[in-house]
């Protein structure tokens, strides 16, 4: 009998190649057609295996969701970077490979990152998403996130609207 193991755990340096591959696939699926092509390529190429290896070695909080022996998704999180928002923690990135979306894995990854932040004393959190990324905005609303701020971000010549969703512990 074979049992498929679904596990969320801290990333190890040995995961860097798979996290980079997950980042590449997830970003292409999420942002193709939203972020201009050359800008999207720059953003993806900046986050290769060496970048992830370095981030993990330096102690960045990166968790991976593994499906069997494959990294299916990752979350990167820590202290809130936006001083204007009164939330303690922030999930900087939460992405799944496209074939693992819609199966409840994102919820598991979110819950794990939130639990880790709360255990570290960060009792509230915020996540930013491009407002045109309907998959992400619907996902965060379904998790009970409330929209608390709007901003914009430039990608080359294009400016895109983004929204912040927040939760309290």
Return the closest-CA partner of residue 17 out of 51, 42, 41, 40.
Answer: 51
pLDDT of residue 83: 86
pLDDT at 1: 45
Dig out the tokens for 78 from the structure.
Answer: 């820590």
What CATH architecture does domain 6-168 belong to?
3-Layer(aba) Sandwich (3.40)
The two three-digit tokens of residue 25, written as one number: 């696939």
User: With 0-12 CB in 10 A as exposed, 13-18 as middle and 19+ as buried, what is 85?
Assistant: middle
pLDDT, position 60? 96
Which has the closest alpha carbon to 20: 130, 95, 81, 92? Answer: 95
106 to 16, 67, 158: CA distances (angstroms) = 20, 12, 29
pLDDT of residue 3: 60
Contacts of residue 102, Cβ cutoff 8 Å, sequence gap at least 6: none
Residues of the chain with confidence (pLDDT) below 50: 1-2
Within 27-138, strands assigned E span 61-67, 70-79, 89-96, 124-130
CB neighbourhood size of 72 (10 A): 25
Q: What pLDDT digit, counting tens, does each position of 71-109 carry?
A: 999 999 999 999 899 999 999 999 999 999 999 999 999
């Amino acid at each position: 009998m074979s049992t498929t193991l679904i596990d969320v755990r801290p990333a190890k340096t040995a995961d860097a190649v798979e996290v980079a591959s997950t980042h590449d696939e997830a970003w292409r699926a999420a942002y193709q057609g939203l972020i201009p092509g050359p800008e999207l390529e720059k953003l993806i190429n900046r986050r290769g295996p060496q970048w992830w290896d370095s981030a993990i070695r330096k102690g960045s909080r990166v968790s991976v969701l593994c499906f069997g022996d494959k990294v299916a998704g990752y979350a990167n999180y820590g202290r809130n970077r936006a001083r204007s928002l009164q939330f303690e923690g922030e999930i900087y990135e939460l992405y799944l490979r496209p074939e693992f979306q819609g199966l409840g894995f994102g919820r598991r990854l979110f819950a794990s990152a939130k639990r880790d932040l709360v255990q570290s004393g960060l009792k509230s959190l915020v996540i930013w998403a491009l407002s045109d990324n309907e998959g992400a905005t619907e996902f965060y609303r379904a998790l009970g996130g409330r929209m608390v701020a709007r901003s914009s971000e430039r990608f080359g010549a294009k400016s895109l609207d983004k929204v912040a969703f927040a939760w309290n512990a």
